[in-house]
Amino acid sequence: MKADSRPLALIADVGGTNARFALTDPASSKADIIEPRSLINAEFASLQHAAEHYLAEVGAHPRSAAIAVASPVHGEEIRLTNRAWSFTRSELKQALGLHQLSVINDFGAVSWAIPALQSAEYLTLHGRDDAPLRGPVSVIGPGTGLGVALLVGDAQRGWDVVETEGGHVSFAPLGDEEQTIARWLTARFGRTSTERVLCGAGLSHIDAVLRSNGNAPHDVALRGFEMREPADIVKAALEGHDVVARRALARFCAVLGSVCGDTALIHGARTVMIAGGMVPRFIPFLRSSAFRERFLAKGRFAPYLESVTIRVITHPNPGLLGAAVAARAALQAEASR
């Protein structure tokens, strides 16, 4: 990294599969993302080791950091939900030589990024492209897990984020096929949350159920049945030659529509923003799926949902952008003390 006289802060977006790191200038009026890198979590024993690797690679020695993690962030000890990493705030702060450390939920970070997005950094599925951002905003996205958060406020009064674990609510299947998927997952895991369906592994499970004709997971395993990678299922579905892959992705989109509609009703949302690493890969397929039909299938409240704007975030690193916003807010809060 070139020498930089600015007091840069470390920012990170740590999911179950990848850890994205960058630097930012918290004193800047713009949420800059400087020297971004993406590391594979499986190659590191802990978040501390991944962060140290990144800092050594770019030659930086920040004194502050804002780190977004895919887990609840209450308390001193943090445990990632979908990765066997844990740390305490004080030990990580000391190990990295930091004066100030902010730890936020990963979808909280995505939510903080939304007011900072430019129009070219999202696509509108429903509503006017030029419509201003209206709150409350439901933020939801499937990736390694299923993130859910709530953004409240407006551009005049300012925005605030409510971090949630909404991805872990119970799955509400509709129709015979989804009932079969739910039974299959419950037999395997003991409970079916929405995240079990709407994530990368969830797409693999949907595909496995359809290919196995709904047989119990242990029976399938005895026959040497292997689940396909979600990226391979998406690729096969988009190429159009694999009927089961298309059915699996279509079912995934339908369930996503239902869950987005439920979330919008729970939050009283005027806007739904879809994030995560999966959906931007198949937006045309999502548009042609039953997503919109299932989003509206809420009986008497279909007219309410008709007025909700739905967008997909296409910014490559919204979690880092949100962490940069959080780093700037932390600096401002410290300066006001």
Please state the residue numbers annotated as binding site: 12-17
The first and second tokens of residue 22, run together, are 């960058």
Residues of the chain with CATH 3.40.367.20: 167-313
Tell me the pLDDT band of 225, cut-offs 50, 70 and 90.
low
Q: What is residue 196's predicted lDDT score, i.e. its pLDDT?
A: 96
Using one digit for the tens of pLDDT, what is the confidence trace for 71-89? Answer: 888 889 999 888 889 999 9
Using one digit for the tens of pLDDT, what is the confidence trace for 253-306? Answer: 999 999 999 999 999 999 999 998 899 999 999 999 999 999 999 999 999 999
Fold designation for 9-112+317-335: Nucleotidyltransferase; domain 5 (3.30.420)
Spatial contact of 184 and 209, defined as CB atoms under 8 Å apart: yes
- β-pair type (64-69, 9-14): parallel
Q: What is residue 158's predicted lDDT score, i.e. its pLDDT?
A: 87
Spatial contact of 26 and 39, defined as CB atoms under 8 Å apart: no
The first and second tokens of residue 44, run together, are 């590191």
Bridge partners of 103, per DSSP, are 67
Look up residue 218 and give its DSSP letter.
H
Look up residue 173 and give its DSSP letter.
-
Distances (CA, A) of 214 to 40, 173, 187, 206, 207: 33, 15, 11, 10, 10
Cα angle: 228, vertex 14, 147; to 5 degrees: 65
Report how far residue 179's alpha carbon sits from residue 106's, in angstroms, rounded to the nearest whole number: 30
Tell me the pLDDT band of 221, cut-offs 50, 70 and 90.
very low
Residues of the chain with CATH 3.30.420.40: 9-112+317-335
DSSP string of 28-59? SSS---EEEEEEEGGG-SSHHHHHHHHHHHHT
pLDDT at residue 113 above 50?
Answer: yes
Q: What is residue 29's predicted lDDT score, i.e. its pLDDT?
A: 79
pLDDT at residue 237 above 80?
Answer: yes
Cα angle: 9, vertex 112, 153; to 5 degrees: 140
Mean pLDDT rounded to a whole number for the chain: 91
What number is the average pLDDT over the span 100-127? 93
- What CATH class does 167-313 carry? alpha beta
Report how far residue 88's alpha carbon sits from residue 95's, in angstroms, rounded to the nearest whole number: 11
Please state the residue numbers annotated as binding site for ATP: 12-17
pTM of the model: 0.87
What number is the average pLDDT over the span 207-218? 77
The first and second tokens of residue 17, run together, are 């599969």
pLDDT at residue 3 above 50?
Answer: no
Nearest to 35 by CA among 12, 68, 64, 65: 12
What number is the average pLDDT over the span 174-203? 95
What number is the average pLDDT over the span 15-43? 92
